[in-house]
Structure 1
Amino acid sequence: MTVPPLELSDRYRDALTLHVDDAGLWVTCTSGDQEVTVGPLAREAIADWLEAGAEAA
């Protein structure tokens, strides 16, 4: 699966990156020189959560 990563940042230069590969979804949070990555997460669980959030908005 080839999907470009989603990269979001705020005015303080903190960043959130979502990356999908064959293993699942990876989430990386960066603040200054600190970084943490979790994954692989089940794509289905994230998709269900995003869909529910979009419907609630």
Structure 2
Amino acid sequence: MRIAQHSDEALGLAIALIPAVAVYWQWRLGGITGDCHGASIEVTETLLLAACVLG
């Protein structure tokens, strides 16, 4: 199924992106706050859904 294939690819990208975002917050702010965590979740979710719809 076409959507399932693209959602798997998008999920793999999201999983790879999570550690990179954590490293960014650690570098930029010296740690991860609740606001950083929430922003990361929202951005990752938006990109994941957009990749599934547009993919």
For the criterion TM > 0.5, the same-fold answer is no
TM-score, normalisation: structure 2: 0.33
User: Which one has the bigger helix percentage?
Assistant: 2
User: Which one has the bigger strand percentage?
Assistant: 1
